[in-house]
């Protein structure tokens, strides 16, 4: 007569302190794209990571703190992707940065929403995340500063960001256009900003026309 065997639940994985935190973040990032930030729970994260339900609280004060760290990692990745054009002075730097921005939003839409939403994460409570976000934007500013007049860098950087961010948001929220148009739109947005910068520079350098009948 065979002995009856009982199935045992797999034992929770054993992690070092730092590894546990990274495991929780990796689990949270995976869940984020499936259930969204609002639907994410610390209990789900712990289960996915193979840790106890208490484990998340050993590393994060609450859900908002975990989401803030995910957002920080997102801004860090976004900042790195904006550097794909090489040096800011590179002729194609702005176009490549725009392309990278749109691609980032499409590849991780839930993370992208989280990074720019204040409903679940108040960046004023998480200065490290806020600094990382500012650093990512500074990559764009450096690119614009390479071709725009100094007094117009701030407004042109904002215009460039608004164009690309608005388009990326419309694509992931409404399905505005397909992935195949990403590069074309990136070229268009870069051309708009560069043309505006060139037109204003030309207008500033051009001599004022003489008034008919004047001296």
* Structural domains of the chain sorted by starting position, each given as residue range(s) with its CATH number in brackets: 15-60 (1.10.10), 64-204 (1.10.357.10)
- What average pLDDT does this structure show over 210-214? 45
Position 203 pLDDT exceeds 90:
no
Summarised one tens digit per residue, pLDDT across range 168-187 is: 999 999 999 999 999 999 99
- How sure is the predictor about 199, in pLDDT bands with cuts at 50, 70 and 90? confident
**pTM listed for this prediction:** 0.85
DSSP secondary structure string for all residues of 113-174: HHHT--SS--GGG-HHHHHHHHHHHHHHHHHHHTTS-GGGHHHHHHHHHHHHHHHHHHHHHH
- How sure is the predictor about 153, in pLDDT bands with cuts at 50, 70 and 90? very high
More confident residue, 215 or 137: 137
H or E element: which one contains 108? none
């Amino acid at each position: 007569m065979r002995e009856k065997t009982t199935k045992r639940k797999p034992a929770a994985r054993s992690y070092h302190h730092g590894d546990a935190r990274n495991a929780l973040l990796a689990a949270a990032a995976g869940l984020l794209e499936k259930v969204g930030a609002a639907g994410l729970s610390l209990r789900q994260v712990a289960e996915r990571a193979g840790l106890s339900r208490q484990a998340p609280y050993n590393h994060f004060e609450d859900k908002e703190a975990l989401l803030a760290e995910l957002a920080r990692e997102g801004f860090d990745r976004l900042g790195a992707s904006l550097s794909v054009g090489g040096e800011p002075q590179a002729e194609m730097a702005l176009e490549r940065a725009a392309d990278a921005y749109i691609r980032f939003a499409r590849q991780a839409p839930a993370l992208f929403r989280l990074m720019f939403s204040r409903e679940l994460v108040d960046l004023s409570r998480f200065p490290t995340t806020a600094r990382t976000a500012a650093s990512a934007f500074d990559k764009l500013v450096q690119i614009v500063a390479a071709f725009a007049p100094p007094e117009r860098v701030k407004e042109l950087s904002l215009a460039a960001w608004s164009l690309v961010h608005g388009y990326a948001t419309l694509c992931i929220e409404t399905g505005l256009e397909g992935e195949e148009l990403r590069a074309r739109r990136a070229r268009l947005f870069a051309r708009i900003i560069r043309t505006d910068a060139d037109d204003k520079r030309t207008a500033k350098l051009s001599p004022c026309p003489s008034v008919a009948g004047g001296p």
